[in-house]
């Protein structure tokens, strides 16, 4: 389109809007026009190193590799924290139910099928053992990996736990996980690319993903410096018992003794007492002028060790109570409850999401879900109060409470009905509701009768209009 004025610069509407946004003609100290992308590309969700798929080593561009994380996880404090978390999860029961349902329908054949499959997901290990292997890689590597085994007709027949340290993550041009049929992962064995895996072949579920990293960020990696400090501290403590040259004390020889006399007395003293427990418990006569000076050992455990234990415990959301000085009971119980809410709860939620993906996406039951059984209070007094309250308000029946306690049910039919505590004692919930309905009905009848009586009283009687009223003209 020719310019209206010779020599004038013609701008499109878009260019004019851009200039007015970033650098208007009347603007002072404007930010300036942004650089124009020389070759516009789609959004890249993760900026990866160039040629990252060519390097076959997993975590090649991370500060610490999988072998280092495995080694760090075996430091005593860290290992105790990991095993404690695994034990806490193993002791919980689980069930399969319909989405949104409060209880499980044990007669549903689909629930029976899923429960039977999850009893041994890989066909060899029980669910608790199978999940412990997954949680191990979750807490140590944050790279839990499960191979999806299928039959010839593509039906899922097994879920095998794979060493997460052998899985290399692949990305496409935009930093996203490639979709089938393209490989999304590779297994690397002894420095050799072993096989390609798609998202249909492998469940790879890191819990702590980051937008600028391809791999997860587990609690072990988060406290690498602390773990190194713990290792050095334990090495120094071990050397105190294995390589220390500081004796329990020294004996000062009397004046005038020669070095040879001191050596002879030392050899005689050692020969008499070494390995002889009875003689060591007796008094010994020594030459006049001999003086004993005891050495004060350096503290083997102090506040610094407690501080290290607190950091490790905090990383795994565990209370540091076993490793620190005794606190009062209320503080300990508060730490225990907070640890379960902050650490165990999110871990159970992650496991539930994983199992829901298995049930709904892999097994094809979109209306079923995995759920953990709520752990009941094990304190007998507290549990008794809870049971009593549930019985009073009809939340549970007598036989339900007895079943939870492992007792035989009552044969009386009332034991299977919810009861409500009233001023007259316990009554069945159905009778209590009928009584309330009767009272409401009677109250409604009385109210209607009262209203009808008032309406009748206000109506004039026959001949009332013919009588003269006070103050009215004849």
- Number of Cα atoms under 13 Å in the Cβ half of residue 57: 8
Contacts 24+ apart (CB under 8 A), 441-446: none
> Which helix (H) or strand (E) segment is 385 a member of?
helix 380-392
Identify the three-state secondary structure at position 249. Answer: strand
Whether the predicted pLDDT of 281 surpasses 60: yes
Beta-carbon contacts of 289 under 8 Å, excluding residues fewer than 6 positions away, are 252, 253, 254, 255
Contact status, residue 293 vs residue 252, Cβ threshold 8 Å: yes
Per-residue pLDDT tens digits for 145-174: 999 999 999 999 999 999 999 999 999 999
How far is 170 from 389, CA to CA, in rounded Å? Answer: 56
Residue 254, pLDDT score? 83
Beta-carbon contacts of 308 under 8 Å, excluding residues fewer than 6 positions away, are 77, 226, 229, 230, 233
Whether the predicted pLDDT of 474 surpasses 50: no
Whether the predicted pLDDT of 294 surpasses 80: no
Whether the predicted pLDDT of 255 surpasses 90: no
Given pLDDT bands bounded at 50, 70 and 90, which one contains residue 470?
A: very low
Per-residue pLDDT tens digits for 356-365: 999 999 999 9
Contacts 24+ apart (CB under 8 A), 15-23: none
How far is 397 from 362, CA to CA, in rounded Å? Answer: 38
Residue 427, pLDDT score? 76
High-pLDDT (> 70) share of the chain, %: 81
Among candidate residues 152, 192, 135, the one with its CA nearest the CA of residue 168: 192
For 151-263, where are the E strands, in sequence order?
A: 156-162, 167-169, 185-189, 192-197, 202-204, 249-252
7 prior amide bond cis, ω within 30? no
Which is higher by pLDDT, 342 or 55?
Answer: 55
Residue range 305-319: average pLDDT? Answer: 89
Per-residue pLDDT tens digits for 202-247: 999 999 999 999 999 999 999 999 999 999 988 888 887 777 767 7
Whether the predicted pLDDT of 16 surpasses 70: no
Q: Which of 86-90, 372-376, 435-439 is the least confident region? A: 435-439
Contact status, residue 420 vs residue 427, Cβ threshold 8 Å: yes
pTM: 0.72
Report the Cα–Cα distance between both ends of the chain, in Å, rounded: 105
Given pLDDT bands bounded at 50, 70 and 90, which one contains residue 473?
A: very low
Contacts 24+ apart (CB under 8 A), 251-259: 251/286, 251/290, 251/291, 251/292, 251/293, 252/289, 252/290, 252/291, 252/292, 252/293, 253/287, 253/289, 253/290, 254/287, 254/288, 254/289, 254/290, 255/289, 257/287
Residue range 85-95: average pLDDT? Answer: 92
Residue 442, pLDDT score? 65
Contact status, residue 165 vs residue 141, Cβ threshold 8 Å: yes
Which is higher by pLDDT, 1 or 392?
Answer: 392
Boundaries of every domain in the chain: 46-242+300-375
Contact status, residue 165 vs residue 67, Cβ threshold 8 Å: yes
Which is higher by pLDDT, 387 or 178?
Answer: 178
Mean pLDDT, the chain, whole residue set: 83
CB neighbours of residue 180 within 10 Å: 10
Whether the predicted pLDDT of 436 surpasses 80: no
Which is higher by pLDDT, 255 or 123?
Answer: 123
Identify the three-state secondary structure at position 9. Answer: coil
Assign 3-state DSSP to the chain and report helix, strand, coil percentages, each to 5. 45, 10, 45
How far is 117 from 132, CA to CA, in rounded Å? Answer: 17
Structure tokens at 417: 């009905």
How far is 335 from 472, CA to CA, in rounded Å? Answer: 88
Residue 441, pLDDT score? 61
CA 452: distance to chain centroid? Answer: 66
Contact status, residue 160 vs residue 30, Cβ threshold 8 Å: no
Whether the predicted pLDDT of 10 surpasses 80: no
Burial 435-449 (b: 16+ CB within 10 A, else e): eeeeeeeeeeeeeee
Residue 355, pLDDT score? 96
| Pairing of β 425-428 and β 291-294 | unpaired
Residue range 59-87: average pLDDT? Answer: 94
DSSP type of residue 295? P
Q: Enumerate the β-bridge partners of residue 196.
A: 186
Whether the predicted pLDDT of 444 surpasses 50: yes
Q: Which of 24-33, 37-46, 423-432 is the least confident region? A: 423-432
Highest mean pLDDT among 296-305, 353-362, 464-473: 353-362
Given pLDDT bands bounded at 50, 70 and 90, which one contains residue 329?
A: low
């Amino acid at each position: 389109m020719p310019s209206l004025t010779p020599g004038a610069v013609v701008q499109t509407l878009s260019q004019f809007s851009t200039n007015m946004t970033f650098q208007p003609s009347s603007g002072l100290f404007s930010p300036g026009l942004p650089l124009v992308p020389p070759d516009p590309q789609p959004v890249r969700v993760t900026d990866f190193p160039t040629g990252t798929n060519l390097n076959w080593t997993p975590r090649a561009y991370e500060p610490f590799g999988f072998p280092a994380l495995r080694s760090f996880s075996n430091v005593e404090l860290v290992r105790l924290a990991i095993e404690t978390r695994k034990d806490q999860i193993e002791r919980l029961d689980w069930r399969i139910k319909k989405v949104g349902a409060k209880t499980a329908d044990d007669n549903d054949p689909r629930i029976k099928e899923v429960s039977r499959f999850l009893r041994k997901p890989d066909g060899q290990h029980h669910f608790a053992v199978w999940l412990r292997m997954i949680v191990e890689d979750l807490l140590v590597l944050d790279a839990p990996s499960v191979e999806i085994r299928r039959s010839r007709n593509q039906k899922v027949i097994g879920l095998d736990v794979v060493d997460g340290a052998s899985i290399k993550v692949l990305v496409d041009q935009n930093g996203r996980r490639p979709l089938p049929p393209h490989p999304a992962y590779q297994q690397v064995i002894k420095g050799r690319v072993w096989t390609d895996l798609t998202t249909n072949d492998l469940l790879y579920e890191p819990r702590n993903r980051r937008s600028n990293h391809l791999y997860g960020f587990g609690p072990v990696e988060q406290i690498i410096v602390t773990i190194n400090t713990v290792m050095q501290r334990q090495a120094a403590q071990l050397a105190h018992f294995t390589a220390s040259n500081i004796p329990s004390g020294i004996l000062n020889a009397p004046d005038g003794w020669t070095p040879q006399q001191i050596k002879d007395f030392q050899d005689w003293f050692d020969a008499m007492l070494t390995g002889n427990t009875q003689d060591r418990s007796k008094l010994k006569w020594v030459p006049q002028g001999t003086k004993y000076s005891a050495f004060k050992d350096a503290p083997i455990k102090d506040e610094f060790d407690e501080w290290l234990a607190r950091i490790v415990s905090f990383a795994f959301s565990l209370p540091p109570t076993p490793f620190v000085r005794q606190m009062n009971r209320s503080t300990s119980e508060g730490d225990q409850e907070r640890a379960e809410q902050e650490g165990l709860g999110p871990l159970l939620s992650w496991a539930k999401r994983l199992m829901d993906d298995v049930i709904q996406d892999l097994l094809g039951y979109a209306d079923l879900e995995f759920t953990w059984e709520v752990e009941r209070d094990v304190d007998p007094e507290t549990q008794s109060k809870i049971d009593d309250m549930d019985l009073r308000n009809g939340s549970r029946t007598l036989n339900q409470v007895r079943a939870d306690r492992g007792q035989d049910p009552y044969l009386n039919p009332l034991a299977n009905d919810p009861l409500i505590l009233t001023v007259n004692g316990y009554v069945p919930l159905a009778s209590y509701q009928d009584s309330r309905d009767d009272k409401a009905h009677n109250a409604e009848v009385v109210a209607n009768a009262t209203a009808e009586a008032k309406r009748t009283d206000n109506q004039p009687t026959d001949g009332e209009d013919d009588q003269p009223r006070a103050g009215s003209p004849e």
